[in-house]
Structure 1
Amino acid sequence: MDNVGRGNWVSEKLLPPIMKVVNTKAMNALKDGMVYSLPFIIIGSIFLILSNIPYKPVAQALTDSGWSAIFTQAYTTSFGIMAVWAVVGIAYVYVRNEGFEALPAGLTSLAIFLGLQSLQVASPLSAAMGKAGSGVGSLSGTQVAEHIDKLPHALQTFLTSPVTGAINITWLGGQGMIAAILIGIFVGWGYSAMLRAGWKITLPEQVPANVANQFTAMIPAGVLITVAMFIYAFFSFIVKEDLLQTIYTLIQTPLQGLSDSFGGALIIAFLVPFFWFFGVHGGLIMGAITTGLLVPNTFDNAALYHAGKLSLANGAHIVTNEFYNNFINLTGSGITIGLVIFTLVAARSVQLKSLGKIEAVPGLFNINEPFLFGLPLVLNPFLAIPFFLTPVLVAASTYLVIYFGIVPPLNGVAAPWTTPPIISGFLIGGWKMAVWQAVVLVMSAAIYWPFAKKYDKMLLTQEQEAEAAENA
């Protein structure tokens, strides 16, 4: 099968079913709804850095003055509750796209998200007791347990029982993300379906719209919250744990493990340029598919970094959302900075030199549409190999340098995807990661250079022939 045949097979047979899934209402709600959490993740990352200054004297001064705790508070209530922003945003976007008043749907989604989890947290003494316990003050975990054992049984039970009537912040962060996605989509679908079916209270026209809208929301919100109540009851009485815990155990943990694997990193790195090659926005497609898994990985790393325990031995992830943004898509899909360098340094054809000047600045901010469509890289067999190969090799090598401890795991700080390379590396992993990003830029240049040279030579020949024909 020649290149044209392969391209037709992909565009006619492979892409349509994929795009059908990507363009579903649920996927659009997921993709656009998750965006609402992005400002809080980035803002929270700033406070995460401030509460964990790597310079020890400054860190100690912030701790002693109490400012470290203040920064932690800001981090916890922004980055730390990312699932809240997601569950509201996804339901909101779903219903908005259906043409209805959307904010009540988002708030209904939040109510259900909270209502499906047990409103209790474990007693702090439970984590402090035993050989592996954290202890209390100068007392070890074993000593705490020994002292508790001397108390009357009723008092022991009271002190070690869960604290009720409290929202467990664990489920508001990364560990609740998959549950938030599923609940947001379910609420958006159910809420819209009931409004389309006419399940609403209609008030006279004289009633102000802001009041009427709330009565419109009452029936679908009431139905959905009631259904959620029965689901909570089933899990509470029969399963003996809440739904969020079940989703985390059966769905999120295995999927996070899959996304965090070496093979998972390579598949993601390959599919981004693969979709782009055929003119489909690979970044958006893979971002929609992987965000729900990679963002929780980022959250887990941020929590470990904040606790001073960031290491693979403590459960840190290698493949996070920042791995995706700042390595797989560094300088744009296909990691095309190497091609930019060639066009600025060695290109002889007018086409490559002109496009290189246009792409130079956007490329520093990880934007490479001038190359994707202007060069073009889309459906260009001459540059297909480096376009596919560079992200895969970068993903593989970055995974391995973290796995073998050459550079530390990513710290969970969410640098905006437009942050220039090396700067983003420093923010997400310190100076070692910044150095590694510089190595990645060199890798990109080395991979693209021979292919770009041949392509440039071909373009130069075509330009010279066209000029000769003009002058003839």
Structure 2
Amino acid sequence: MENSSNGAFSNFINNKVLPPIMKFVNTKPVKALQDGMVYALPFIIIGSVFLILSNIPIPAVAAVIKASGWAAFFNQAYTVTFGVLSLWAAVGIAYVYVRNEGYEPLPAGLTSMAVFLLLQTLNIANPLVAAMGKAGSGITNAAGNVVMSGSAVSQNIDKLPKVLQDFVQAPVTGVVNITWLGGQGMIAAIIVGILVGWAYSAMIRKGWKITLPEQVPASVANQFTAMIPAGVILIVAMLIFAAFSAFGNTDMLQFIYKVLQTPLQGLSDSLGGALVIAFLVPFFWFFGVHGGLIMGAITSGLLIPNTFDNASLYKAGKLTVAQGAHIVTNEFYNNFINLTGSGITIGLVIFTLFAAKSVQFKTIGKVEFVPALFNINEPFLFGLPIVMNPFLAIPFFLTPVIVALSTYLVIYFGIVPPLNGFAAPWTTPAIISGFLIGGWKMAIWQTITLVMSTAIYFPFAKKYDAILTKEEGEKAAAEAAAGNAEIEKM
């Protein structure tokens, strides 16, 4: 009866739940988002290195680097790599969308970049505004030392004629505001990339292009092919910018950030959001579908901006939950929810190496050991298997949920600091990744989560191992009996 109900549940999941989810995941926009974001990853990772170099978590060393002026150079490198991740996303998403449609993709990627820049107001607040007043930052020198307080700045500016005060405090125009090229512009970048990719492909498909004679080199002809779609898209984008400016006194990027991105980031950063993500990754895997890819595609547009926000706070020396640091970031997803592989199966690896008695467990454990160090566990998922295995379902679902819950709480209550924004590659071994993304306290906590995984998996693995050992013994006895029967016939 139990097997019948399990079979009915599996059939329900496979026939009713998974098909619409897979249909959504395999849509053109989601595929473009998933693969397009990959183009931003090298810049995110390299930029993270410059972030750490400019903010070494050793005060004495950090002070020396800052005084030497090298911190400013590292910050420059960080700003044009990790600091403009939304720009990379806008280019990559449109590029992949059009590439998947079978057309020349680079013009679409560049068009998307132009649209993304066109839709923002090209000015920044005057730095004097933030420097003025008792709560102002004041004026600092290259070493970061305050040379004039905020109050002193206000007092001196107040001595100027009113017209001159207004002039020196006016926004700086004719510049690109990198605020919207970073994490705050991510949802807008995703929308722009997808819409540009879709519109560009549709126009090319309908023949909206300038066709030159065959004698014209392909490199030149391709640019003329792109001219009409790019021109139409840019004109529409200009009209959208004009509408937001005229009727809303804002721009599209700021509007999307306030109305859409801020609430979604808050949802992704909640305890409930963390638990849902932690459960759904192994849930999809259990039924043989790549849970990491599905949830990564859905959550990356929100969790990567969370990482960026934390990096900015870390850079400013304000990385605390009280000052707005996010608990759930892309590194929370990669280096806790998926630590040692989906389901956090390191506990299962330890069991197979030190306590398993069955040949199947021992053999697969030896194969899985090295991949597990780099957060890869497909040998377990399909070789043991864990997929559709009721004996290991409970720890497989439970472990990442418990780890997500406990990690959220230790950060929330200040036991360990928030993640610092360093984008450690998902293959970075445990403990090392913990140190990189949060210092020695996070490395210790990550070690504790490995112990938790072992404690959760052990009793279930022991029971399953006993079943496998019994089956192997019965099979060996049957084979021996068959061999003896053959000998007697001879």
The TM-score range, normalised by the shorter chain, is: over 0.9
Selected match of 2:264 from 245, 255, 261: 255
Q: TM-score, normalization: structure 1? A: 0.99
Q: Which moved more, 1:218-227 or 1:64-73?
A: 64-73
Selected match of 2:98 from 95, 98, 116: 95
Residue 333 in structure 1 maps to residue 333 in structure 2: no
Q: CA deviation at 1:140?
A: 2.8
Structure 1: unaligned runs, 5 residues or longer: none
Query: Which whole-Å CA distance do the structure 1 matches of 2:226 and 2:147 have between them?
Result: 54
3-state secondary structure, aligned to 2:443: helix
Residue aligning to 1:57: 60
Q: CA deviation at 1:135?
A: 1.8
Q: CA deviation at 1:66?
A: 1.0
CA offsets per residue over residues 417-463 of structure 1, 9 Å max, x none? 00000000000000000000100000000000000000000011111
Selected match of 2:69 from 66, 71, 76: 66
Query: Match of 2:18, as an amino acid?
Result: L
Matches within 5 A, 1:137-286: 137-286=146-295
3-state secondary structure, aligned to 2:342: coil
Q: CA deviation at 1:471?
A: 1.2
Residue aligning to 2:486: none
Query: Match of 1:231, as an amino acid?
Result: I
3-state secondary structure, aligned to 2:10: helix
Selected match of 2:472 from 459, 463, 466: 463
CA offsets per residue over residues 352-404 of structure 1, 9 Å max, x none? 00000000000000000000010111110000000000000000000000001
Residue aligning to 1:37: 40
Residue aligning to 1:12: 15
Residue aligning to 1:321: 330
Matches within 5 A, 1:274-423: 274-423=283-432
Query: Which whole-Å CA distance do the structure 2 matches of 1:285 and 1:57 have between them?
Result: 43
3-state secondary structure, aligned to 2:148: coil
Query: Which whole-Å CA distance do the structure 2 matches of 1:70 and 1:147 have between them?
Result: 31
Q: CA deviation at 1:128?
A: 1.1
Q: CA deviation at 1:147?
A: 2.2
Query: Match of 2:167, as an amino acid?
Result: F
Query: Which whole-Å CA distance do the structure 2 matches of 1:389 and 1:340 have between them?
Result: 17
Query: Match of 1:437, as an amino acid?
Result: Q
How many pairs does the alignment contain? 472
Query: Which whole-Å CA distance do the structure 2 matches of 1:408 and 1:219 have between them?
Result: 51
Q: TM-score, normalization: structure 2? A: 0.95
Query: Match of 1:181, as an amino acid?
Result: I
Q: Which moved more, 1:26-35 or 1:136-145?
A: 136-145
CA offsets per residue over residues 149-200 of structure 1, 9 Å max, x none? 2211111111111000000010010001110000000000000000001000
Query: Match of 1:384, as an amino acid?
Result: A
Structure 2: unaligned runs, 5 residues or longer: 140-145, 482-490
Query: Match of 1:81, as an amino acid?
Result: V
Query: Match of 1:36, as an amino acid?
Result: Y
3-state secondary structure, aligned to 1:382: helix
3-state secondary structure, aligned to 1:44: helix
Query: Which whole-Å CA distance do the structure 2 matches of 1:132 and 1:219 have between them?
Result: 51
Q: CA deviation at 1:299?
A: 0.3
3-state secondary structure, aligned to 2:390: coil
3-state secondary structure, aligned to 1:271: helix
Residue aligning to 1:434: 443
Q: CA deviation at 1:139?
A: 3.3
Query: Which whole-Å CA distance do the structure 2 matches of 1:230 and 1:146 have between them?
Result: 43
Query: Match of 2:157, as an amino acid?
Result: I
Query: Match of 1:59, as an amino acid?
Result: A
Query: Which whole-Å CA distance do the structure 2 matches of 1:64 and 1:130 have between them?
Result: 26
Residue aligning to 1:109: 112
CA offsets per residue over residues 208-240 of structure 1, 9 Å max, x none? 000000000000000000000000000000010
Query: Which whole-Å CA distance do the structure 1 matches of 2:152 and 2:246 have between them?
Result: 36
Query: Match of 2:249, as an amino acid?
Result: K
Query: Match of 2:51, as an amino acid?
Result: L
Q: Which moved more, 1:128-137 or 1:328-337?
A: 128-137
Query: Which whole-Å CA distance do the structure 1 matches of 2:60 and 2:465 have between them?
Result: 54
Query: Which whole-Å CA distance do the structure 2 matches of 1:89 and 1:138 have between them?
Result: 43
Query: Match of 1:31, as an amino acid?
Result: Q
Q: CA deviation at 1:133?
A: 1.4
Query: Which whole-Å CA distance do the structure 2 matches of 1:27 and 1:451 have between them?
Result: 37
Query: Which whole-Å CA distance do the structure 2 matches of 1:424 and 1:186 have between them?
Result: 36
Query: Which whole-Å CA distance do the structure 1 matches of 2:19 and 2:5 have between them?
Result: 21
Residue 26 in structure 1 maps to residue 29 in structure 2: yes
Residue aligning to 2:484: none
* Identical columns (%): 74
CA offsets per residue over residues 1-55 of structure 1, 9 Å max, x none? 7111100000000111111111000000000000000001111111111111122
Query: Which whole-Å CA distance do the structure 2 matches of 1:52 and 1:287 have between them?
Result: 28
Query: Match of 2:67, as an amino acid?
Result: D
Query: Which whole-Å CA distance do the structure 2 matches of 1:314 and 1:386 have between them?
Result: 36
Query: Which whole-Å CA distance do the structure 1 matches of 2:74 and 2:194 have between them?
Result: 33
RMSD: 0.8
Query: Match of 1:402, as an amino acid?
Result: I
Q: CA deviation at 1:57?
A: 2.3
Residue aligning to 2:488: none
